[in-house]
A = this chain, B = another copy of it.
Amino acid sequence: MSVNLTAPSRESLKPVAGITLGIAQAGVKNPGEDDLVVINLPEGASLAGVFTQNRFAAAPIISCRKRMHSGVAPRALVINTGNANAGTGRTGEVHAESICSALAEKLGVSPMAVWPFSTGVIMEPLPFEKIIDALPAALNDADERNWAAAAAAIMTTDTTPKGHSVVREINGNTVTVTGIAKGSGMIEPNMATMLAYIAVDATIPKPVLQVMLAEIADNSFNRVTVDGDTSTNDAFMLIANNRPDSLAVQSQADVNFAPLRDAIAEVAVYLAQALARDGEGATRFITIEVSGGKTRRECRQVGKAIANSPLVKTAMFAGDPNLGRILAAVGYAGIDDLDISRVSLWLGDLRVVTQGGRDPEYIEARAAEIMAESEITMLIELDRGEAVDQVWTCDFSYDYVRINAEYRS
């Protein structure tokens, strides 16, 4: 059960010219379930990526990092679910490369043109032969209109596929941006989320695309947390098809850079929020705004401390306005010179805290009403600067425990 999140339809996710997606069943997940996706890129496309900061980066992440610096033009992304190929040591790296080589051979390209991604259980050997055997089926299935099917095929504990398209007129060009993502637990991206792929019908050289990606990631996936567990497999990939006659952005100084970045960011923010809406066991989607910080970084630090507090999250699940827990999290967020007598807190439009203590006009019954909603916004004003930031998360329910206690069974 996700919070106010609808699965994308085949029609709602718009094709991005030249980019095709093929889905197959490799038998890594349960029999009869889609678990393999190949994304084919047209010749000349640009690919940018950001990856997990977890030191136990999975084998496919190591392969992707090599490709980031290889200079070889990207031609395909191959994604399996059901097994993360993480904590698998040197053997795992060989398995990831074997899959790339097998797909490269079928496509007639260099193995370095194929980028591997995995998600699922950690520290189990990857059944890489099963994946290789299913590659022809995935290639046969390739179609520009398969984004929604791909969004479903990369899920693990996700309950709802996540995808979004926007179409914008920018400087006389019609630009389509389409993206998909998966992720539900082990979510506190640090650079990127579990897996997200966004494609744009535009011409952007790779270095410019990478800069754009970094800005977008910081304003979307890096603002989400479900449980504070940074995954071993996080990757966020941005593809420009570089179609002739498409809108071109040659540098950061280009007049079209900002509008194009903002169109892509709209898809990224949608997908990032979708991760929290479909957080494991989520019953509420929570937006935490922090304002009046000295820096945006400290605002995010406060937002993340609140968002990751099991006590705040369980109170949100209960709909119980035990709001002192929010103040406690603000207090341990790590701002050493915080003056608590300047801190204010609002829940929706209800002022809860003034000058570090409960507001005289606070009415608990009104707080309970606000917390009964499925979408909750809180605002923390630190009153020590001009910076603001926002973090998205979900509550912490019995089902989070159930899902994670039973994940492998």
Nearest CB on B from A222, distance (A): 14
| Chain A, interface SS category | loop
Given the complex, which residues of B lie within 8 Å of A287, measured CB to CB?
Answer: none
Given contact pairs A331-B56, A340-B55, A318 touches B405 in the complex (Cβ within 8 A) = yes
Q: How far is B400's CA from A90's CA once the two chains are assembled, in angstroms?
A: 39
- The answer to whether A122 touches B327 (Cβ under 8 A) is yes
A89 and B357 within 8 A (CB): yes
Would B396 and A401 count as touching, CB distance under 8 A? yes
Quote the shortest CB–CB distance from A317 to chain B (angstroms): 6
Which chain B positions have C-beta within 8 A of A314? Answer: 400-401, 404-405
Number of copies: 2
A329: Cβ under 8 A from any B Cβ? yes
Count of A interface residues, CB-CB < 8 Å? 69
Q: Report yes or no: B311 in contact with A227, Cβ–Cβ below 8 A.
A: yes
Quick check: B356 and A87 within 8 Å, CB to CB? Answer: yes
A123 to B360, CA, bound (A): 12
Contact A309 B122, beta carbon cutoff 8 Å: no
Assembled-state Cα–Cα distance A331/B168 (Å): 40
- Cα–Cα, bound, A402→B400 (Å): 12
| Among listed A141-149, A200-208, A228-236, interface-contacting one | A228-236
A267 on interface, CB distance cutoff 8 Å: no
Minimum CB–CB distance from A403 to chain B (whole Å) comes to: 8
A183 within 8 A of B: no
- Cα separation A363 to B328 with both chains bound (whole Å): 43
Chain B contacts for A324, CB-based, 8 A: 84, 86-87, 121-124, 232
A353 lies within 8 A of B87 (CB): yes
Which of A124, A231, A310, A355 has most B Cβ within 10 Å? A310
Identify which of residues 107-158 in chain A touch chain B, using a CB-to-CB cut-off of 8 Å: 121-125
Most buried by B among A53, A325, A407: A325
B356:A56 contact, CB within 8 angstroms: yes
| A365–chain B nearest beta-carbon distance, Å | 14
CA distance A55 to B232 in the complex (A): 33
Q: Which residues of chain B are within 8 angstroms of A88 by Cβ–Cβ distance?
A: 357-358
Bound CA–CA A396/B228 (angstroms): 15
A87-B324, A122-B324 given; A310·B404 CB < 8 A: yes
CB A190 to nearest CB in B, in angstroms, measures 7
Which residues of the other chain, B, contact A57 by a CB distance below 8 angstroms? 331
Q: Mark A307-351, 1 if CB is under 8 A from B, else 0.
A: 011110011011010111101111111011010110000000000
Cβ contacts A217-242/B at 8 Å (1 or 0 each): 00000000001111110000000000
Q: Which of A54, A91, A335 has the most CB of B within 10 A?
A: A54
Those of A357-386 within 8 Å (CB) of chain B: 357-358
How far is it, in angstroms, between the C-alpha of A124 and the C-alpha of B24 when the chains are bound?
57
Write 17 A-B pairs (CB below 8 A) sorted by A numbering. A54-B328, A54-B331, A55-B336, A56-B332, A88-B358, A89-B358, A92-B357, A124-B358, A227-B310, A228-B310, A229-B309, A229-B325, A229-B328, A310-B404, A314-B401, A396-B401, A398-B398
